[in-house]
Structure 1
Amino acid sequence: MNEPPLIAVIEDEEHLAQGLVFNLQAEGYRTYQEADGDAALAWLLDPTQHADLVVLDCMLPGSDGFTIVRAMREAQRYTPVLMLTARSRPEDILEGLEAGADDYLPKPFDLSILLVRIKSLLRRTAWQRNATPTASEQTQSSEYAFNHRTIRFDALELAAPNRTTNLTVMEADLLRYLTEREGQIVSRKEILEQVWRVHEDTDTRAIDNFIVRLRRYIEDDPANPQHLITVRGIGYRFVANPT
């Protein structure tokens, strides 16, 4: 019999952490709890440990949440990360997504929303591992092929001739948004609002950094992009078959 998913709760506000653990266990999940960022990072990078999902506060003693998620991705640990951000600050949200978080939730949050976000991220991971998805999952799954590369959106990976790259949910979502609008100019503001759900005026440099990372995945020469083109002063355009 398969064990229920293990969710790591990395949160230093004791009452909030205890409430999260209590409710997650009530939903049938197993939990690991840590309040210190350095200890949490050591556990998350320990090859003998495994979490199915991480609920991660951005502000922690020791290593903060941004440092933790960056270190996880650099170590090729692609466990889904739901980041908790303080006071809905756009800069926290953008820094978390740029670092490699898969989703975010501003504090204070509704418990039911948190549980829905967790189930959604776990479902995406299950699609990746499940060789025989259900009919509804098959309907939602999709691929996009170009230049000898295939983006497998629901598997969260990009297959190229010499390697397969794991994607975060946000990376896959942005690639899906761009490829569905192939040839069209997509503004930075549109990406903020439609992909990242940030509805405030804020610095868009995090998007530019995000695009730089995506170019490393999809371009033959990332310094001379042919597919993910910058439209100066506006945003980006995805071109599947450049002439």
Structure 2
Amino acid sequence: MTDVPNASDQILIVEDEPKIARLVADYLNGSGYPTHHIDNGDQVITWLSETEQRPQLVLLDLMLPGTDGLTLCREIRQRWPRIAIIMLTARVEEVDRLLGLELGADDYICKPFSPREVVARAKAVLRRSQAQDNSIPGHDLLLDENGWRALADGQDLGLTAVEFQLLKVMMQSPGRIFAREQLMDHMYRDHRIVSERTVDSHIKKLRKKIADIWPEREIIRSVYGVGYKYQPEE
């Protein structure tokens, strides 16, 4: 089945090498994806905050003038978790790849690369992102981000802002294990220091509210010695 881009499938290219940026943009435009290009890391967050139409995907170079790609990846994922991210890097060390994915990247591509590969990877990431409907087989668990509400079979779970944020982060990546330290980064926007027990306490309260409606299902699971994951499937 051929992917047909939506008009809203804008892709932000963050790349400081003009030839690479132009080549990638040409191929993406030719496949129906509108693009915007930024060549300095310091401009990315400002543009994302002010633009009227936020992109669905960011192609993010690792080595940039100004703010580096890993720092940007972390901030984008924290502030706009629905934006997909593909890292572009000439550094092939395994630690850099793992670190990039740990910070929230959906995929990475090593330079030099074929622009056709970039288009194919972009289509795959956008397809996965848009296919996530935040639903549980046999049940519906939906997030109302405007009202900061989580609805289980239409019933409001009555979550606090912190509980809503924790659930939202885990639902963005079903099956992914989040360490307590990673969840801490998403709990409070002022980056206050909290203990791991505080994370456990919020998770416990969140689980209880879900169990009040779905006593037979455990959708937030503990991974001993590591952290927690959202796992809707049996």
Q: Does 2:227 align with 1:227?
A: no
Letter in 1 for 2:49: L
| 3-state secondary structure, aligned to 2:125 | helix
| 3-state secondary structure, aligned to 1:101 | coil
**Alpha-carbon offset, residue 173 of structure 1:** 4.8
Q: Using a 3 Å threshold, how does the CA distance of structure 1 residues 220 and 113 change in structure 2: closer, same or farther?
A: farther
Letter in 2 for 1:228: V
Letter in 2 for 1:119: K
**Counterpart among 195, 202, 211 of residue 179 in structure 2:** 211
Q: Using a 3 Å threshold, how does the CA distance of structure 1 residues 40 and 78 change in structure 2: closer, same or farther?
A: same
Q: Which runs of 5+ in 2 are unaligned?
A: 1-5, 144-149, 187-195, 204-220
Counterpart Cα distance in 2 of 1:150 and 1:66: 32
Q: Give the RMSD, CA atoms, in angstroms.
A: 3.8
Letter in 1 for 2:48: L
What's the counterpart of residue 174 of structure 1?
A: 176
Query: Percent identity, aligned pairs only?
Result: 31
Q: Deviations over 1:80-120 (max 9, x none)?
A: 01111223222221221222212111222233332222111
Counterpart Cα distance in 1 of 2:169 and 2:181: 12
| 3-state secondary structure, aligned to 1:67 | helix
Letter in 1 for 2:168: T
Q: Does 2:56 align with 1:52?
A: yes
Q: Work out whether residues 10 and 33 of structure 1, in 8 Å CA contact, stay in contact via their aligned partners in 2.
A: yes
Counterpart Cα distance in 2 of 1:18 and 1:168: 35
Counterpart Cα distance in 2 of 1:40 and 1:237: 31
Counterpart Cα distance in 1 of 2:32 and 2:176: 32
Q: Using a 3 Å threshold, how does the CA distance of structure 1 residues 25 and 167 change in structure 2: closer, same or farther?
A: farther
Q: Does 2:82 align with 1:114?
A: no
TM-score by length of 2: 0.62
Counterpart Cα distance in 1 of 2:183 and 2:43: 33
